[in-house]
Amino acid sequence: MSPTRRALKRAIAALPALDVLVNNAGSNIPEPFVEVSEEHLDRLLSLNVRAAFFAAQAAARKMLEAPDRKTRGGSIINMSSQMGHVGAAGRTVYCLTKHALEGLTKAMAVELAPHNIRVNSVAPTFVETPMTAPMFKRQEFRDWVYGRIPLGRLAQPEDVAAAVVFLASPGAAIVTGTSLVMDGGWTSQ
């Protein structure tokens, strides 16, 4: 077991209880499929899939420990991407990892539903942040993205936060095993 995984298990185990996990770690290394190195593949699989898996597993274990788990329940929200629903050139590994996260979400939802633990994903389009700003300075990339979003705008951090709050709330008490795709219509075409 890696030191990071050990630390994560200890941190979650130390909590008195756990009601919600927002599983929000991920990265991308855009590059052509034929140029993807083993190092890049392993790095993205390790963070986007393995780390998400083990964080969700530790959270589910903690939620299952609650003596009132049937009434208390829980919510695990995996941060995915619209790229977990489509493919894109130069993003094969990212798409692979986000499709894996979508499958994990569905399988976990089925397995944990009898324990009143809901598992969903949030799948935003590109979000306007300081991290994405440099990408949108390239006109070709900007045109490519905006040309695929019928609403004609990027997601804002507040949009993503609102989706997470909804899925964590009692308002989503019957929602499990789904992906809240927040892509401005990208995947509808």
Q: Domain of 78: which CATH number?
A: 3.40.50.720
Name the domain count of the chain: 1
The verdict on residue 99 lying in a domain is: yes
What's the pLDDT at 68? 82
pLDDT band at 1 (very low <50, low <70, confident <90, very high): confident
Percent of the chain with pLDDT over 90: 88
Q: Which domain holds residue 175?
A: 19-188
Q: Which residues are catalytic?
A: 94, 98
The verdict on residue 153 lying in a domain is: yes
The verdict on residue 13 lying in a domain is: no
What's the pLDDT at 71? 77
What's the pLDDT at 82? 96
The verdict on residue 10 lying in a domain is: no
pLDDT band at 163 (very low <50, low <70, confident <90, very high): very high
Angstrom CA distances, 74 to 86, 100, 112, stand at: 29, 22, 10
What's the pLDDT at 30? 95
The verdict on residue 5 lying in a domain is: no
pLDDT band at 39 (very low <50, low <70, confident <90, very high): very high
User: Collapsing DSSP states into helix, strand and coil, what is residue 127?
Assistant: strand
Percent of the chain with pLDDT over 70: 100
What's the pLDDT at 185? 97
The pTM of the whole model exceeds 0.85: yes
C-alpha 143 chain-centroid distance: 25
